[in-house]
Amino acid sequence: MVQLRKAEENDLTAIRNLVIELAIFEQEPDAVTASIADYQALFRSGSFACIVAEKEGVIIGIALYYDAFSTWKGKMLYLDDLIVTESYRGQGIGKLLLNAFLAKAKEKEAVLAKWQVLDWNEGAVKFYESIGATIEKDWWNVKISPL
């Protein structure tokens, strides 16, 4: 049985490990440069929150999110990572996590929930479309790193 709960500071190593697993899946194995110390400092400051999916005491999935603001819509919750470890995919855990994230957005009175998906990740695209999410294909990501 899978249980969902709010992440605690002692979960951060498992959370970071899942983020690394996602980076490998997304063909960016060396992209995670944030240290566990970074995770701890930012978690303590409230910069992000996370819902964890746990089975038999092991964290097998996460929905990591933070508050954001849309100048067009208002209060927004941004889902930075939705990850289920590979051996547990296809069992509905991702949907449980996504629903918990959306419930948190409603609880926080956000008017918009937003996240990204890679165009080649057909399984994720189909999943998001199946729940009625809009996938914008006309906006491009822009970033500068390192600063």
Catalytic machinery residues? 128
State the SS3 of 28-84. Answer: CCCCCCCCHHHHHHHHHCCCCEEEEEEECCEEEEEEEEEEEEECCCEEEEEEEEEEE
Which residues make Cβ contacts (< 8 Å) with residue 81, sequence separation at least 6? 18, 19, 22, 62, 63, 64
